[in-house]
Amino acid sequence: MDTLKIGCLLQGNFLAKLPCYPHEQRNKPNIQHAPIRSVPLNKEEIKLAVKNILRYVPSRFHKELAGEFLEELKTYGHIYAYRFMPNFDIKAPPIDQIKCSNRQAAAIVLMILNNLDPDIAQFPQELVTYGGNGQVFSNWIQFRLTLRYLGEMDENQTLIMNSGHPQGLFPSHADAPRMVISNGMMIPNYSTKELYDKYFALGVTMYGQMTAGSFCYIGPQGIVHGTTVSSIC
């Protein structure tokens, strides 16, 4: 992926107008897709799922996108916001070609791009790196927003992430983490498979596995290492 494309992801105002639907990418052969998820939602909850994703975009686009997002929910069991997926393969360039205001932010961008590289990710268009449901983000708007934040973040700011949702940049200091991430936040008394499916369909939680949601997947070697250590113990 060239420097110009990286620059557009980091600095371009992708919400100034609706991007064209990436038909070329969506129709690429040899791309594996995530299984269709269940939608354990009633009519009011389906409306809420659409409202939840529409909060990311200006109200002038709501009428056009509401039907599109509803169709995604019914078809795939989740709203991935495919329209906002880049219409090119995601590849991480050398870190020196990632133009952020500090190297820490550039390193995070590199990690995100590596985790969504179609040669690495299990279901790249559904933002799943591995394990069938280990997501980097819940939808492509979150991906675009997060890269925008990382593109402008300085060394005295921290980006807060909750299940793929970028809450925003908060004042911190140079020795603080540049990003704080929490994924799959479910109260233990309510952390059943049924309720997780419900809240995933609503777009308010996601499962990042051990390393996908924290952008640090290292491939099968991580599984081999973890299994070996567990066996020894």
What domains can be seen in the chain, in order of their start residue? 3-232 (3.40.1770.10)
Give residue 66's Cα distance to chain centre: 20
Q: Around Cβ 25, how many Cβ atoms within 10 Å?
A: 18
Tokens in use for 49? 């799922």
Residue 227 is predicted with a pLDDT of 82
pLDDT of amino acid 186: 82
Q: Long-range contact list for 206-209, CB < 8 A, 24+ apart?
A: 206/135, 206/137, 206/138, 206/163, 206/164, 207/133, 207/134, 207/135, 207/183, 208/134, 208/135, 208/136, 208/163, 208/164, 208/181, 208/183, 208/184, 209/129, 209/130, 209/131, 209/133, 209/134
User: In the chain, what percentage of residues exceed pLDDT 70?
Assistant: 100
Residue 41 has pLDDT above 90, yes or no: yes
Laid out side by side, the sheet with 179-182 consists of 165-171, 157-162, 179-182
Q: What percent of the chain has pLDDT over 90?
A: 76
Lowest mean per-residue pLDDT among 62-66, 103-107, 193-197: 193-197
